[in-house]
Structure 1
Amino acid sequence: MFEWKEEYETKIEVIDTQHKELFKIANESYALLKNDIILDKYDKVVEIINRLLDYCEYHFSTEEEYQLSIGYKKFLSHKVQHEEFIKKLRDENLKKMDENQDEYLMNILEFFMKWITGHILARDMDYVQYARTLA
């Protein structure tokens, strides 16, 4: 469902590898959403959200270390976006999930994919351009 595209490539191997892992998690989430055999997905959705949070924190840390290493001037605003994203995921009301698990998961997936693709194409490519001006 969620396809990695060449336009997402930063040409920074560690960053691209981590971005691809985020797409992999999203695709696993989508597979769960489309799985009609599993009726109660609550535990699996919680597991996915926790995995996504853990991996995003790891990935954001990698990005932020890279930005600091190149003296990226917009580091703080970029970091704030990362923190806001993590806060949004942490603030998800898991109790609402019981009402309609598939809809809940779909809403999280839509939010995540819209955020991550927009973030890569706008914010991440900005520090990539900045790094290229240093080379």
Structure 2
Amino acid sequence: MIEWTPALSTGVALLDEQHKEIYQWLAELQSAADDERTLFGVYSLTRLKHYTRAHFAAEEALMKASGYPGLAEHSAEHAKFCARLNELQLKSIGQDISRDTVEFLTDWLTRHITRTDMAYVPYLKKLQ
């Protein structure tokens, strides 16, 4: 089952709460894929896309406020992921969400948090 774990904690309460919410949408997406519920899959993927965009904007605003030097690269990674989410959303309209799609999204998010996001943590902690 897909779920956020304390190992994914950045220590920044707002971002951790948002990451938890993204994992909840991924769990919903997994449920839609497992049950082959196309409409629910489209809905879950659409919500995931919108929530992720809002999360990325909040994260980037905090990085900017903290003077994080890797902001441009981090933002580019976010943009690439958002483009992929758009493609997956369009694809999902005509077919069930595949387990491969759920696995890709979960793996990307987990790697992104544990590697890329953890790099900004020392900068954001200075703001707290």
Q: Same fold (TM over 0.5)?
A: yes
Change (3 A) 1:29 1:96: closer
Structure of larger gyration radius = 1
> Taking structure 1 as the reference length, what is the TM-score of the superposition?
0.84
User: Match of 1:20?
Assistant: 20
User: Match of 1:86?
Assistant: 82
Q: Using the TM superposition, give the Cα deviation of residue 97 of structure 1 relative to its aligned residue in structure 2, in angstroms.
A: 4.9
User: Match of 2:52?
Assistant: 56
Equivalent position amino acid for 2:98 in 1: L
Alignment gaps of 5+ in structure 1 = none
Q: Aligned residue pairs: how many? A: 127
Matched, 1:70 2:63: no
User: Match of 1:9?
Assistant: 9
Matched, 1:34 2:34: yes
Pairwise CA RMSD of aligned residues? 2.1
Q: Using the TM superposition, give the Cα deviation of residue 33 of structure 1 relative to its aligned residue in structure 2, in angstroms.
A: 2.5
Check whether the contact 1:26–1:109 (CA below 8 A) recurs between aligned residues. yes
Q: Using the TM superposition, give the Cα deviation of residue 31 of structure 1 relative to its aligned residue in structure 2, in angstroms.
A: 2.0
1:131, 1:90 → 2: CA distance?
29
Identity fraction in percent: 28
Q: Using the TM superposition, give the Cα deviation of residue 133 of structure 1 relative to its aligned residue in structure 2, in angstroms.
A: 7.0
Alignment gaps of 5+ in structure 2 = none
> Taking structure 2 as the reference length, what is the TM-score of the superposition?
0.88
Check whether the contact 1:29–1:109 (CA below 8 A) recurs between aligned residues. yes
User: Match of 2:107?
Assistant: 114
